[in-house]
């Protein structure tokens, strides 16, 4: 069963990557997880005002989250074969 569970978890991580991949500060990661925001998709669905409604979240935390998501997306884009310089 362990092998099957591991495969299922790997597929779920690929489909719904968690916030732990963003490299957020422990404070911001704790705020998000305390409010059941555990995937990157959930973060993307929240507006900045929605993030600010989370208790103890401030503007600095929102900037950190948005920047981390942007960097994560850019890294995924590069991993899929695109480079910053181009294919020369």
pLDDT tens by residue, 2-32: 788 777 676 666 677 899 999 999 999 999 9
pTM recorded for the entire structure: 0.76
The residues with which 44 forms a beta bridge, in sequence order, are none
Structure tokens at 61: 């935390």
**Cβ distance 68 to 24 under 8 Å?**
yes
Hey, how many other C-beta atoms are within 10 angstroms of the C-beta on 67?
Answer: 12
Residue 50: pLDDT band with limits 50, 70, 90 = very high
Q: Say what percent of the chain tops pLDDT 90.
A: 64
Beta bridge partners of 39: 18
pLDDT interval class at 45 (50, 70, 90): very high
Locus of tokens 């929102």: 62
| Phi then psi dihedrals of residue 46, to 5 deg | -85, 135
Residue 39, classed as helix, strand or coil, is strand
Sign of CA dihedral 38, 39, 41, 43: positive
């Amino acid at each position: 069963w362990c092998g099957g569970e591991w495969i299922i978890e790997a597929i779920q991580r690929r489909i719904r990557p968690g916030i732990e991949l963003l490299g957020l500060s422990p404070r911001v990661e704790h705020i998000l997880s305390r409010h059941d925001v555990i995937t990157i998709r959930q973060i993307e669905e929240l507006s900045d005002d929605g993030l600010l409604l989370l208790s103890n979240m401030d503007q600095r935390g929102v900037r950190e989250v948005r920047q981390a998501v942007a960097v994560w997306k850019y890294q995924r884009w590069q991993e899929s074969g695109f480079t910053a310089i181009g294919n020369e």
